[in-house]
């Protein structure tokens, strides 16, 4: 199960990178970055998965003495939650910049932005 999730994550990363590098439309590039971000999150979840373990909740079902062998480490899951929040913020910032560029230039094609070329 974890290998399928990891392979899917790497495929999403590659699709996102290809889309970001091959498109000239800024909105398509932003969507490609979001796809790559989802792939990274999926790979992180797959790395933290351990077969046969349970959630990190200590109660009657999981005694404290057996906790290290029976529960999953919650750190990768916490990192993915943080990465999701940061990814949404970065995507919102990219969309705000794209909107401002469209309002000033009237296009989203990056080949039209030649102001800083020599």
SS3 of 113, please? coil
SS3 of 59, please? coil
118: pLDDT strictly greater than 70:
no
Q: Could you report the per-residue pLDDT of 60-99, keeping only the tens digit for each?
A: 777 777 777 888 888 888 999 999 999 999 999 999 999 9
Percent of the chain with pLDDT over 70: 98
Confidence of residue 55 (pLDDT cuts 50, 70, 90): confident
Residue 54 phi, psi (nearest 5): -115, 175
pTM of model > 0.85: no
Please give the CATH number for the structural domain made up of 2-54+62-112. Answer: 1.10.287.3510
Tokens of 58: 């200590």
Mean pLDDT of the chain: 90
Cα separation, 108 vs 103, whole angstroms? 10
Give domain limits for the chain.
2-54+62-112
């Amino acid at each position: 199960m974890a290998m399928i999730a990891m392979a899917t994550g790497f495929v999403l990363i590659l699709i996102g990178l290809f889309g970001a590098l091959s498109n000239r439309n800024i909105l398509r590039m932003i969507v490609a970055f979001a796809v790559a971000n989802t792939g990274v999150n999926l790979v992180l979840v797959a790395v933290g998965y351990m077969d046969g373990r349970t959630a990190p909740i200590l109660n009657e079902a999981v005694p404290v003495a057996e906790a290290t062998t029976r529960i999953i480490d919650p750190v990768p899951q916490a990192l993915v939650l943080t990465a999701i929040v940061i990814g949404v913020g970065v995507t919102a910032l990219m969309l705000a910049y794209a909107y401002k560029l469209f309002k000033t230039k009237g296009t989203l094609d990056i080949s039209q932005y030649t102001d800083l070329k020599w």
